[in-house]
């Protein structure tokens, strides 16, 4: 890593740049960039999904949020790259840091292929800014190629022609002649196509130009020769979609005769509201996912009780094997977090494939995982006891569960943004002077990204309202560095809850179906309504999944779901 940073500094010296900004995303703003665009990882060794790097002649820094503070300290050790914390009160953002660090009239170069200068905030006027397309290309000799994987169509309950017609109507409303769509999830949604170009996300790396009378799809397809891809491309061409080379997008945009839309995202709010077909499919996906999870937790408990040596990696592999047995499984929706003890204190822990920690005989084990299925996208976290728990573990486990339940029971007026109910998933922790640094909930796509907007539930002042048909996660947590972590996560569907003289109301309905282990629960910390919700949820899990489970697992699950306190 030191050699790579020095190679970048040599390039800076030859170009007369005083600083460079390297983004942690790709030309499409993806959360999980393909290998060829993992510039931050290649340069620094940091593998988290959210980070930007600044390099000067004698300093280098990486900016990331609290999900990755511990991970960043470990991975940046010895690289000469300093950690800069974001989303904290003492934050010094990149523009301010550059202002403090650089001399008058300094030149700052940034990678214009992967983000605009505005993405990091306004830079001081005294600095000169240089846009450089593919900034690291000159010093990355063995850079992987842009991936090309088979492309296939999916059923979503709405045709691509209907979606394009809707987008054209929105463009007309805004007085525009066309729109360049760069976000891969939005292209996949508009065209009803999927692929595996991006790890964990079923996307096709491409651009889409929609105008009043034409649709042009800029996509790599020279090495995609399977029959299914050919049928997909031919079907889209029959619908009037022009298939053009990926690299020709710049030329096409420059020659576009008309006004291209520039403004708030039109597609994301529409995409986030699932239609009836998508909701039915998601329910089916979560039933199958629930069967997988109950089989996994049964196996884990019985294996540990029998004295078998199970590592975090062993557990992750076994869970993946169970998911792969589902007929419409396409892959994981993110890298499985399988963590025992100190590893669970890292919200985005990476389970090592070699020399993985052994799951012990006491304490808590955390597993955060999800799948991509033809019937939808899933995301679930369960923390379970693997033996006797300490009073601290029991209390934290209960308070996090209490926070989860309080958010799941929320009823709120239509038009409420997630930031206004975030406190419901934190109040029990706050009253005990505890907190967590990540968001309480994120949006989830339909066979798309496991993280999608515009909706979320977090403290950031995001004005996007929660709407019926949106899917969000509910995942409060507690993380005690070097000891253990607790997180309980379900996906929730936002649904109508009627209306009164005070307006229309919304509530949540759990999509995820997997029991919460009540063995570590201190029921003295739960209110009557919370215990009632927990009992009802666990009973629904049993009645839904038991007929689909082998008899011995169904019997085990009956015991797990009957162990709640009596209301």
Write out the chain's pLDDT in tens, 567 residues: 788 999 999 999 999 999 999 988 888 988 888 889 999 999 999 988 789 999 999 999 999 987 788 888 889 988 889 999 988 888 889 989 999 999 988 999 988 888 766 677 788 888 888 889 888 988 998 899 999 899 999 999 999 999 999 999 999 999 999 999 999 999 999 999 999 999 899 999 999 999 999 999 999 877 666 788 888 999 999 999 999 999 999 999 999 999 999 989 999 999 999 999 999 999 999 999 999 999 999 999 999 999 999 999 999 999 999 999 998 999 999 999 999 999 999 888 889 999 999 999 999 999 999 999 999 999 999 999 999 999 999 999 999 999 999 999 999 999 999 999 999 999 999 999 999 989 999 999 999 999 999 999 999 999 999 999 999 999 999 999 999 999 999 999 999 999 999 999 999 999 999 999 999 999 999 999 999 999 999 999 999 999 999 999 999 999 999 866 665
- Cα distances from 290 to residues 107, 445, 446, 484, 534, in angstroms, run 54, 18, 17, 25, 17
* Residue in 108, 120, 137 with CA at minimum distance from that of residue 52: 120
The answer to whether 436 and 479 have CB atoms below 8 angstroms apart is yes
Strand partners, 98: none
Report the distance separating Cα 447 and Cα 397, nearest Å. Answer: 31
Cis peptide before 530 (omega within 30 of 0): no
SS3 of residue 289 by DSSP = helix
Name the pTM for this structure: 0.90
Tokens 């839309």 — which residue? 261
DSSP 410: -
For the chain, the helix, strand and coil percentages under 3-state DSSP, each to the nearest 5: 35, 20, 40
Parallel/antiparallel/unpaired status of strands 503-510 and 490-500: antiparallel
Environment class of residue 53 by beta-carbon count within 10 Å: exposed (0-12), middle (13-18) or buried (19+)?
buried
The answer to whether 454 and 314 have CB atoms below 8 angstroms apart is no
In this structure, how many other beta carbons lie within 10 angstroms of the beta carbon of residue 3? Answer: 8
Q: Which two tokens stand for residue 545?
A: 């999944």
User: In what order do the strands lie in the sheet containing 411-413?
Assistant: 411-413, 503-510, 490-500, 471-474, 441-443, 452-457
SS3 of residue 390 by DSSP = coil
* Residue in 289, 288, 295 with CA at minimum distance from that of residue 315: 295
Rg (alpha carbons) of the chain, rounded to whole number: 25
The backbone torsions φ and ψ at residue 156, rounded to the nearest 5 degrees and listed phi first, read -130, 0
Report the distance separating Cα 384 and Cα 516, nearest Å. Answer: 8
């Amino acid at each position: 890593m030191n050699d790579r940073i020095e190679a970048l500094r040599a390039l800076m010296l030859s170009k007369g740049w005083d600083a460079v900004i390297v983004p942690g995303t790709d030309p499409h703003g993806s959360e999980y960039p393909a290998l060829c665009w993992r510039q931050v990882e290649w340069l620094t060794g940091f593998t988290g999904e959210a980070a930007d790097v600044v390099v000067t002649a004698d300093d280098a820094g990486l900016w990331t949020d609290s999900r990755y503070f511990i991970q960043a300290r470990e991975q940046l050790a010895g690289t000469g790259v300093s950690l800069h914390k974001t989303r904290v009160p003492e934050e010094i953002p990149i523009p301010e840091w550059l202002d403090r660090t650089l001399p008058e009239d300094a030149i700052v170069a940034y990678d214009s292929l992967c983000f605009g200068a505005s993405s990091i905030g306004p830079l001081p006027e005294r600095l000169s800014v240089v846009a450089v397309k593919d900034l690291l290309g000159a010093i990355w000799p063995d850079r992987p190629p842009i991936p090309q994987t088979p492309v296939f169509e999916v059923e979503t309950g709405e045709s691509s022609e209907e979606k394009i017609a809707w987008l054209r109507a929105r463009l007309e409303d805004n007085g525009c002649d066309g729109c360049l769509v760069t976000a891969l999830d939005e292209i996949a949604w508009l065209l009803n196509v999927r692929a595996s170009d991006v790890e964990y996300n079923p996307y096709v790396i491409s651009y889409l130009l929609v105008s009043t009378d034409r649709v042009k799809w800029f996509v790599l397809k020279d090495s995609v020769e399977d029959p299914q891809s050919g049928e997909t491309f031919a079907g889209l061409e029959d619908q009037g979609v022009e298939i053009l080379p990926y690299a020709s997008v710049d030329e096409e945009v420059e020659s576009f005769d008309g006004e291209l839309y520039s403004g708030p995202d039109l597609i994301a709010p529409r995409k986030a509201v699932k239609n009836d077909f998508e909701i039915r499919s998601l329910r089916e996906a979560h039933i199958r996912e629930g069967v997988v999870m109950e089989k996994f937790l049964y196996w884990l408990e019985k294996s540990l009780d029998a004295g078998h040596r199970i590592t975090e990696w062993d557990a992750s592999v076994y869970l993946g094997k169970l998911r792969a047995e589902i007929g419409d499984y396409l892959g994981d929706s993110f890298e499985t977090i399988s963590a025992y003890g100190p590893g669970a204190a890292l919200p985005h822990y990476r389970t090592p494939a070699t020399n993985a920690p052994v799951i012990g005989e006491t304490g808590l084990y955390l597993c955060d995982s999800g799948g991509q299925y033809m019937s939808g996208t899933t995301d679930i976290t369960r923390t379970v006891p693997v033996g006797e728990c300490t009073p601290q573990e029991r209390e934290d486990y209960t308070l996090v569960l209490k926070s989860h339940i309080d958010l799941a029971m929320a009823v709120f007026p239509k038009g409420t943004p997630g930031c206004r109910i975030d406190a419901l998933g934190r109040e029990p922790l706050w009253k005990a002077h505890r907190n967590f640094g990540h968001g309480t909930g994120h949006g989830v796509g339909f066979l798309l990204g496991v993280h999608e907007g515009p909706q979320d539930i977090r403290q950031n002042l995001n004005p996007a309202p929660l709407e019926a048909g949106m899917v969000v996660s509910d995942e409060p947590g507690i993380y005690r560095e070097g000891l253990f972590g607790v997180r309980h996560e379900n996906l929730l569907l936002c649904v109508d809850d009627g209306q009164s003289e005070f307006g229309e109301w919304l509530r949540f309905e759990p999509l995820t179906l997997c029991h919460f282990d009540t063995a570590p629960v201190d029921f003295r910390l739960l209110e009557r309504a919370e215990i009632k919700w927990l009992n009802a949820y666990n009973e629904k899990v049993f009645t839904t999944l038991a007929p689909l489970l082998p008899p011995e697992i169904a019997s085990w699950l009956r015991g797990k779901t009957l162990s709640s306190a009596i209301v």
